[in-house]
Amino acid sequence: MIDLSQVGAFPALTAPAQFSVRFGLYLPGIHSIDNFEVLARVIHADDRFDPSVPAATFPLAWQQGSALDLWTATVPLTPIAGSHLGQPGLHLYRFELWWTSPAAARQCVSPWITDPFAREAEIGRMSAFILDPAATPFVWTDAAYKTPELDDLVVYELQVEEFNDTFDGVVDRLTYLQSLGVNCIELMPVTSMQLDFDWGYGPLHYFAPGWRWGGSAGLKRLVDAAHAQGIAVILDVVYEHVDPMFAYYCVYTALASTAGAPIPANPMMDGQNIYGFGPKPDFTVPFTLDYFETANRNWLDEFHVDGFRYDEVTDLYVPPMDAGYRTLVQQTYLHSLALPRFQGSAGGYSRIVQCAEALDKAQTVLSQSYTNAAWQNGLLYLAESVAGGAAPQDSYAHQLDPSFMGYPSTTAAVDSAGNAVQMPVAPFQYLESHDHSQLICFTDPSYDAGDPIPEGDRSRFFKLQPHAIALYTLQGIPMLWQGQEFADNSSLPDTGLARVHLQRDTHWEYFYDANGIPLISLYRRLGGLRRSVRALRSRASYYDYQQSLQGTQILIYSRHALADAANPESWALVTVNFSDGDATVNAPFPVAGTWREMLDDSLRAAPLEVQPATDGATVPLQVPSNYGQIWVKVS
């Protein structure tokens, strides 16, 4: 079993101004008795471009009897004249694998092995460690924090560099995100950053946040600051495929092509299995599961994250790999039961968020595993169609009700005592994601008029408003993509390098302009209503198909939360008008009483109220074009 205290790079201050570093690397099946050598090559970051300063070389020793064939060494970093080796600061390192043939010919089998357990990583393939004579452990301040319940989540997906440059840049925007009703941020991959812009879906480091964004300390500062504001942080992790330079692919592939060398079994993957996005780990072998379970535990324990968004589960969830995925999320869930931030749910389940990108298998994955959330593109595709000019259909309203779409409401789990419980599950619902052009682009009839990288016409921001109202009033977990709340208008090619290598910085200047101001105001009011009106977070809704879409483009649906020990019953009725003209509908109010229109309540001099006299009574409502209303029962 993987022991993180054995592998990676561990610097230590051994005397004033004197450091050492202990290296550890698992190479299953690779032994010194077969004439293999493993070397560590180390250089101070300040010396790497100086041709007169070579990297220092240190041999590692194979630990015979180690179950995973540990190679290790503790070496002094003695300062060398003319170099910065052993001085405080960032040091870069890699490993090399050498083999001597029976004929005494020594050759380098793998000249660049990136440490698969590195805790820090600089650009690209560079594993790293930091020498700091005053190093102290990070001081967490989130002991009282609790991860929000699944039904209370409003998620914001962002790419750190595009959003605001660094982890500290994201911290600077937490109050802003909170104003949108957001209480969970989903970070696109935070490891293995290249010098050219990259989404991070070619994973090489699984334990090291990107150095350019602030490294391990920066991510910890972000998580701690987010928790201080009641905001959860989940990481987008990529376990379905790896970068071709990943150690457990490149080393064993190189050995397989080295004439005469012993060829041990690859501990993680079939060396020939490259397709799609990269080499594919084999989830039927124990080391693969151990590696990714260890990575999850490290993120949970060392970085206090609140969960994971698992990339490409659609391709992973096929027999026999699906059993390995189920084991991964189950073991991660069981580990989370001991962490206080996930405790406190009335049902005894853990609040950890485990979201699968399972675009066409979401219902199946949710019903068969400890996964409690899933990416699926149902609402996104419908919104793109309607934004492009198609008339809304009943299918749009049905998508707002996951139970109607065949999603389970719970899945089997256990509590901390091992008792069987039912854990709530729900899909993420979104209008935009990193994988698609932003919704404003689809409202522009000239969107594809010859421009290789077209941008959406932001003057059509009003076409986004009804979709935003639907997003904040639906069942499931609303998710925003960076900038959609002020009509950011970046496009995304379907294929090609520009899809992942063209940096599309969030246009914060749009927050202040004539198109951004009204939309951001709407999002903030919607966020406040989602947070304050229990009915809008409930699992009960009714689509009034008889009055909807009757000569109009208006959907009508109600939302309902039963009373409980701490809260009264809550009702809301929503109308959403996708047309360019105001229209009147006869809206049936589920129960008699006084109902107040709350979406624009703060903008009015006096409340707008209706008082249906009987349950189910219809009231004529005039719904503004490209807009909607949210009526809440107030008495």
Neighbours of 136 (CB within 10 A): 6
Peptide bond just before 320 cis, omega within 30 deg: yes
Element (H, E) at 534: none
Question: What CA–CA distance (Å, rounded) separates 466 from 81?
Answer: 67
**Does 8-131 match 540-633 in CATH topology?**
yes
Residue predicted with more confidence, 501 or 52: 52
Q: Are 307 and 299 in contact (CB under 8 A)?
A: no
Q: What is the pLDDT of residues 116-129, one digit of tens each?
A: 999 999 887 889 99
Neighbours of 512 (CB within 10 A): 10
Neighbours of 131 (CB within 10 A): 21
Q: Any idea where the domains of the chain sit in the sequence?
A: 8-131, 150-238+303-532, 540-633
Q: Are 150 and 477 in contact (CB under 8 A)?
A: yes
Closest CA to 161 of 498, 503, 479: 503
Query: Mean per-residue pLDDT for 388-394?
Result: 97
Pairing verdict, β 353-357 and 373-375: parallel
Exposed e or buried b per residue across 485-500, where buried means at least 16 C-beta atoms within 10 angstroms of its C-beta = bbbbbbbbeeeeeeeb
Q: What is the pLDDT of residue 453?
A: 76
Q: What is the pLDDT of residues 18-38, one digit of tens each?
A: 999 999 999 999 999 999 999
Question: What CA–CA distance (Å, rounded) separates 201 from 190?
Answer: 10
Q: What is the pLDDT of residues 163-209, one digit of tens each?
A: 999 999 999 999 999 999 999 999 999 996 665 667 888 888 999 99
Question: What CA–CA distance (Å, rounded) separates 507 from 488?
Answer: 6
Task: Give me Rg for the CA atoms of the chain.
Answer: 27
Q: What is the pLDDT of residues 363-375, one digit of tens each?
A: 999 999 999 999 9
Count CA atoms closer than 13 A to 507's CA, side-chain side.
18
CATH topology of domain 8-131: Immunoglobulin-like (2.60.40)
State the DSSP string of 166-223.
SHHHHHTTHHHHHHTT--EEEEPP-S---SS---S-S---SS--BGGGTHHHHHHHHH
Contacts of 212 (CB under 8 A, 6+ apart): 122, 123, 161, 166, 193
Residue 224 Cα distances to 16, 217, 220, angstroms: 32, 11, 6
C-alpha 277, offset from chain centre: 18
Q: What is the pLDDT of residue 274?
A: 56
Question: What CA–CA distance (Å, rounded) separates 33 from 456?
Answer: 63
Q: What is the pLDDT of residue 447?
A: 66
Question: What CA–CA distance (Å, rounded) separates 596 from 572?
Answer: 9
Closest CA to 266 of 290, 278, 282: 282
State the DSSP string of 491-536.
---SSSTHHHHS-----GGGGGSTTHHHHHHHHHHHHHHHHH-GGG
Tokens of 570: 């809550």
Contacts of 542 (CB under 8 A, 6+ apart): 557, 558, 560, 590
Q: State the chain's mean pLDDT as an integer.
A: 95
Q: What is the pLDDT of residue 15?
A: 93
CATH topology of domain 150-238+303-532: TIM Barrel (3.20.20)
Residue predicted with more confidence, 348 or 496: 348
Q: Are 471 and 519 in contact (CB under 8 A)?
A: no
Q: Which residues make beta-bridge pairs with 235? A: 187, 308
Query: Mean per-residue pLDDT for 206-219?
Result: 95
Q: Which residues make beta-bridge pairs with 110? A: 97
Q: Which residues make beta-bridge pairs with 317? A: none
Closest CA to 200 of 152, 250, 241: 241
Tokens of 494: 């379907």
Q: Which residues make beta-bridge pairs with 541? A: 559
State the DSSP string of 588-599.
EPSSSS-EEE-T
Q: What is the pLDDT of residue 239?
A: 96
Q: Is the pLDDT of residue 463 over 90?
A: yes
Domain at 540-633, CATH from 3.40.50.300, 3.40.190.10, 2.60.40.1180, 3.30.70.980: 2.60.40.1180
